Each structure stands twice: as C-alpha cells, then as structure tokens.
Structure 1
C-alpha cells in the first residue's frame, strides 16, 4: 500500500483469526549500535539483518558524512569500510527524530577533529540531552547544547581525556550506551559510573550495547552495580548478524491473541535478546493481564500493552513509565488520549502512572476515533490493534511507521487485515 497517498488510514475489523507468515524487520537498536561500532573499527565489517528505516538511514547518512564507506549488498546486508577515524563533516549532522543516532553520535564525534553540529527535527529539539553533555564535559570534551536539547555543538579534538565519568541516566539509558561505546576508544581504561540509585530504565539496552561492543573486540567488566570498566582496546572489524526487532514483534503478538490467530514468524521469537522480548509473556496472559505492570524495562512495549489492556477482563495500572514522557512524544499522554478517543473514560493518568479501565465489551463496538499519532510510530502501530476489534478506528499520519517498521501496513494486509482511506 502506498501510505504516502493516505494522510489517514482506517483499520477494518477482522472477522476471524489472523494467520500468515511474516518477516519482521531487523532491530533498530542493534542496527544503529552496530553501524556506529563498525564505523569506529578499522577495516571492513559486514552487517546482516540490517533494518532500513528513517532512524537507521539517518545514522548511516551521518557516518558517510564523516568518511565511512557504506555499501548496500542487498535489502538487509551492508558492508562498512572505515579507517577507524571519524572526519569532521562539512555540514551539520541532521538526525531527524532518531534518539539513538543523536545520543550515540553526540559522544562518538568527540573522536573527530574539528567542529561537529548534531541536530534534528522539531521533535528531537525537545528531547533532553543535557546529562550526556555534562558527562562529556567531565571527560574534557568541548560540547554545548544551549537549550539542553539538540542542536549540540562538539569542538572535537580527536579524542577525550579522563578515566572516570559519572552519568545521570534517569531520563535515558542511551546516555550510558553512548559513553560506553566512546570509552573503548580512550587513551586509558575508562570507568563509566551511574549517578544516583541505579534505578535506570531500559537497563537491558545497556546489555545490548555491551554485546555489540564485545563482538567488535571491546573488553568490558562490571566491578560493581552501576559501574562499567571499559578497557583501551578500540574496535576491530567484524561480521555481525542483527536479530529481528522485538518491539515490532509486540504488535504482531498482540494481534495474535486478540484475534485468536497464529502468525508464522519464520524464526524462534523466544530467542530474541532485546528487552521488549520480555513483553511476550505479558501479552500471552491476555485477557487476564496483571493488575500492575512495571514498564520500566519494556518501555517501547508499553503502548502495545496499554491498548491490549483496553480489551482485558480487568483494569491494568502501568507504573515505572515516566521516561515515556520524553520519547518521540509524551507517550503516556498520547496513549491515554488515544484510549479515551476509543471510549470516553477508558484511561486516565495518575502522576506518571497510566490506568487503563478494561472493557471487554469494546470488542465489536463502533467508535469514531481519529488517533493523533503525534508523528510517533509506536502510537500509530499500537492503535492499529484497536482497529482489529472495533469499527471506526482511524490512524492519522500512518506513514510515521517508517521510523522503525516501514512495511508495517503491508504486513497487516498480508495477514488479511483490511485498510481503507476514511
């Protein structure tokens, strides 16, 4: 389906179980980590299972601007050739609303030689980066972000100084990942330490970062909780397979349970290592989901779970989700507003918690809900699930799924889901 021709998309409710075979795109999180680490490795690396989406294209384009050669071998395989150094680009690096690319490159460009400006779209310019800027400053990097959000200017000098850095990761684990990937290129071993109570959301994504780093020759130990010691190894070129995206799987798992269907993923999704893979067990508990769900370690799956909870037998409270307010949009409010568009009073916020007042009678009901996606791919995809069960669900700006799952609507159609222009 040519989504560009559809400013809005109405989901046609299914009349039976959805079935079919799908190919889930590669992990955005792993693709952008592997892109960066391979770019910092001297030699040739081949990445397979690569996701091609808005976020990963922004990362690849920025690396090319800094002298990395990237050759596409097929739809999911690329080769990177690098000197192991990054050159200061002639123009600012524009990264759209790609949080991973923006945070990771803000740290990595300290290894270049010259001024580097990192910028994004209007949404990215509202997403905080000050804790990372402060940490880099403590490593001797000349970096500034006057608003506390992008644009960021780094006056790079080919490296950084210091062997210990602390970071407040309360807003994003990506700050920690950015420092860890940079640290392997230090003049000495570097300790990265969490500041605060170590109650970091998205901690599983740090494990993903370490796995990618180690695949490219880095040596990292954890002498104590909240402390990582990164040896001075640099990176070596390697071939690296990227697993399918667990966050993308959550929509399809939810579609299975809502419709009683069965999807052939053509792989063992239970083997996925990304944090959102842990959401599968919660999804499979529907329509008897837990009364309280801690979303701190499965943040990108929370919108999926919240829409699923609308059709649950009993109410669900989502806790540990404050960080969702500083994602591509304020996802707590966006999901709450979308649920209330389905049916007034279906959800409400209490502080940073989201309470979904389950209503099994929604299945088969009719609504006049136009879902404001806030240009957020996860809002568009999670509310498509409501459209499987209710008539009248319209997704505004459906093409925003291109951020991480460009073929999402095609995949739904291949499973027998009807889509139409409202």
Structure 2
C-alpha cells in the first residue's frame, strides 16, 4: 500500500486487541540468548522488521535461531559469537545496531555493523569511544554507522565511561557485553544525562534472567562480573509503546479497548504514558517526555484535541530517532491545521483545539519512514475527516498488524 485513509468511526471504539510483544525486550532477549550456552526459548516475542534483522544478524554470527511459531524464537548458542563473513545489515534498527556493535567486540575477528540510509545518520560515536577506552579497536569514520570492530574474543575488564546523553542504548550495549569480559567491568556515566533510564533497567532485568551478576552501585555506575550467560526460557511482555496507540484510541473515542493486560502490568518505561492518557482531555500544560520518548508522538497527537495547549520538554533525543521526530510531529500537525504544532528550541508545542473533532481537514501525512509517525497520526484520523497516511507499511518495523488491529475495532482503513 502506498497510502491509507482513516475514516472516523461513528462512535466509541470497543473490543479486544492484544499488542505484539515488546520490541525492546525481544531484541535484548535475542542477543542474551545468543551469548548464552545452550537452548533458550523466547515466548511472546515480536516478529517485526527490527527483530527479524536482529535474528538474521545472529545467524550470520553462528547462532541457531528457529521460529516454531509466530511469537516464539528458539535460540541455540555456544556461548560465543563468530565473525560473520559479510557485514551485518540492520536497516534502521537502532537497538540492534548499538547492541551488536558492543557484542562484536567479543568475536575473534572483524565485524562490520551497518544500516540503511536513515541508520547512517544516527550517532554512535559515544559508544565507539567507550569501546576504544577498553582497548577495543572500533572505527566509525562518520560518527554514525557503518562501524568496524576488530573483535578480540572478550570484552576486556576495568572501568569504562560512557556519555549516554543521546541514548540509553549505549549503556545497555556495554552492559550486555560486559559478562563476556576477562574480569569485572565497571560502567559509569560521564554526566547526569541519560536517555530513557527505564530501558537500562529492562536490560539489567533481562541480563539477570540469563544468569548475569549486575550491581548498580549508584545512579551512574554499574558493576558487572564476568559470569557469561546461561540459556533460559524467557517470556516477553506486550509492547508498551504499541499499547499507547490503543490507550489513546480509547481516550479519543470514549471507548474501552481491552489489551488483555492491565496498565500496571507493564515494566517498560512507555507505560507511564498511560497516566497522561487517562487525564485526557485535560493533559497537563507541560509534559516531560524524557523517560517516555517513544510515546511522545502518541501524546502529541492526543494533545491536538486537548482542552488547553501542551508543551513537551526533555525530548531533544527525539531528533536522532528514526527521523527527527520533533520536527516531523510539528510539521505534520501543522499540515492538518497551520500552527497546530510548533518547535521552540528542542521543545514541541501543540496548540490544542477540541473543535478539530468532526471537521474535514484533508491532509496527506508524511511518515518519514518512521513507524511511530504513521501509527500516532492514524489517531488523528479517528476524529478528523480526510487524514491519509503515506507509506503505511513502515509500521512493519515494530507493529506489522497495526492496520488490522484498527480494522478489528471497526475502524475503516482504506487504501488511498
């Protein structure tokens, strides 16, 4: 499909939709299972473009990855990754690129980690600098992928400092590789800023499930022992970022969509967005999106129908996601109505107007090859006539069944 048009439903949305498995947890679990010795079974997993690219890269590195059904990975590892014969191509999967860049240091040989044109614009210099400080030979001439790592069979030992201001994924990458060190490794932040810290907590929890020993000494320091990993069966919870679209759809239409799991059962950071969504149409005037970054586009579209304007702060990292999401959201909101979204430095301001609901405001929404722009702006189509989403297949990055999920709620999603 080149485009889909959303037809606003005539009433509240009711029904049951089970979100796919968490992308963040699936890619962490795939890597940890690959680094473990033995057979691990990952259930409730996400099968999407990002996780398919990760599993394909692991196969290139000598790991057996089987897919017995639509939500299960069976991973059989030897406890070590092998040098691939070809570069690892990971599309625009940021988690896979960052995680494998660090894990590649444990390989005996050279590894090239690369991505598509979008990934080649996403910074990785802080992670490369951290690897070099451990004595690992790593080069990224543009400070973005491709990265060449000369693996030496282990992750070394000692203290490594990392600037995590751009992404918490740098910290997670170092943490997951650290149990394959020659000795204990201490990972320390160089400053107070870190991307969504909750994702580091997800990483540590998954590492411990696979047998790692990780001690968080304080808010900026982690201590990891060289235990390696052991195989285990691991259940993956539904994706909280995907859930935000369904929670917002309920709020916008006054409906009740059952996700099969209560809001408070999620451990992922984006689940905190549920608290804001429950306030609609009285969202607070300022929302700090620093710890719920992937939910900001959802909340911004919801804010367009709020009773009062909303300013999103703490979101500078959104400029280096799959696209510049601050610019993209502001631009596409203003495509619906001029001035609806504006940038103020690295803040995003949504003007808000409940009277938008029920209007016909034809707008072709550019998605910038970004799944979250497509899925969040589809929500605008639940209240406004004339919303068309371009390149709708980009949702396959994390939620291939998104359009079918809306259709199951009796939302008319037509090819345009």
- Deviation string 1:156-192 (CA, Å, 9 cap, x unpaired) is 1111323100000010000000000011111111100
Whether the aligned pair in 1 keeps the contact of 2:119 and 2:322 (CA below 8 Å) is yes
| Paired position in structure 2 for 1:160 | 155
Deviation of the 1:269 alpha carbon: 3.0
| Paired position in structure 2 for 1:114 | 109
Determine the C-alpha separation between the residues in 2 that align with 1:343 and 1:421: 23
Determine the C-alpha separation between the residues in 2 that align with 1:101 and 1:174: 10
| Paired position in structure 2 for 1:3 | none
1:146 aligns with 2:173: no
Deviation of the 1:338 alpha carbon: 0.7
Whether the aligned pair in 2 keeps the contact of 1:18 and 1:415 (CA below 8 Å) is yes
- Deviation string 1:79-103 (CA, Å, 9 cap, x unpaired) is 1101011110011000000000000
Structure 1: stretches of 5+ with no match in the other structure:
1-5
1:307 aligns with 2:301: yes
Determine the C-alpha separation between the residues in 1 that align with 2:261 and 2:293: 24
Whether the aligned pair in 1 keeps the contact of 2:33 and 2:40 (CA below 8 Å) is yes
1:223 aligns with 2:217: yes
| Paired position in structure 1 for 2:236 | 242
Structure 2: stretches of 5+ with no match in the other structure:
none
1:18 aligns with 2:16: no
Give the TM-score taking structure 1 as reference length: 0.98
| Paired position in structure 1 for 2:394 | 400
Deviates more, 1:182-191 or 1:376-385: 182-191
Whether the aligned pair in 2 keeps the contact of 1:70 and 1:79 (CA below 8 Å) is yes
Deviation of the 1:308 alpha carbon: 0.2
Deviation of the 1:223 alpha carbon: 1.7
Determine the C-alpha separation between the residues in 1 that align with 2:81 and 2:215: 26
Deviation of the 1:400 alpha carbon: 0.1
Determine the C-alpha separation between the residues in 1 that align with 2:217 and 2:25: 25
| Paired position in structure 2 for 1:213 | 207
- SS at 1:345 equivalent: coil
- SS at 2:382 equivalent: helix
Moved over 4 A (4+): none
Query: Which of 127, 134, 140 is matched with 2:129 structurally?
Result: 134
Matches within 5 A, 1:325-336: 325-336=319-330
- SS at 2:199 equivalent: helix
Determine the C-alpha separation between the residues in 2 that align with 1:416 and 1:362: 22
Determine the C-alpha separation between the residues in 2 that align with 1:292 and 1:41: 44
1:64 aligns with 2:64: no
Deviation of the 1:77 alpha carbon: 1.2
| Paired position in structure 1 for 2:291 | 297
Determine the C-alpha separation between the residues in 1 that align with 2:196 and 2:218: 18
Give the TM-score taking structure 2 as reference length: 0.99
Determine the C-alpha separation between the residues in 2 that align with 1:233 and 1:253: 41
| Paired position in structure 1 for 2:73 | 78
Determine the C-alpha separation between the residues in 1 that align with 2:153 and 2:42: 26
Determine the C-alpha separation between the residues in 1 that align with 2:216 and 2:116: 36
Determine the C-alpha separation between the residues in 1 that align with 2:88 and 2:113: 5
| Paired position in structure 2 for 1:175 | 170
1:412 aligns with 2:406: yes
Deviates more, 1:152-161 or 1:384-393: 152-161
Whether the aligned pair in 2 keeps the contact of 1:140 and 1:162 (CA below 8 Å) is no
- SS at 1:146 equivalent: coil
Determine the C-alpha separation between the residues in 1 that align with 2:44 and 2:155: 33
Determine the C-alpha separation between the residues in 1 that align with 2:179 and 2:263: 31
Deviation of the 1:268 alpha carbon: 2.2
| Paired position in structure 1 for 2:312 | 318
> Size of the alignment, in residue pairs?
416
Deviation of the 1:305 alpha carbon: 0.2
Whether the aligned pair in 1 keeps the contact of 2:198 and 2:268 (CA below 8 Å) is yes
Deviation of the 1:201 alpha carbon: 2.2
Determine the C-alpha separation between the residues in 2 that align with 1:249 and 1:62: 28
| Paired position in structure 2 for 1:40 | 35
Determine the C-alpha separation between the residues in 2 that align with 1:118 and 1:149: 10
- SS at 2:54 equivalent: helix
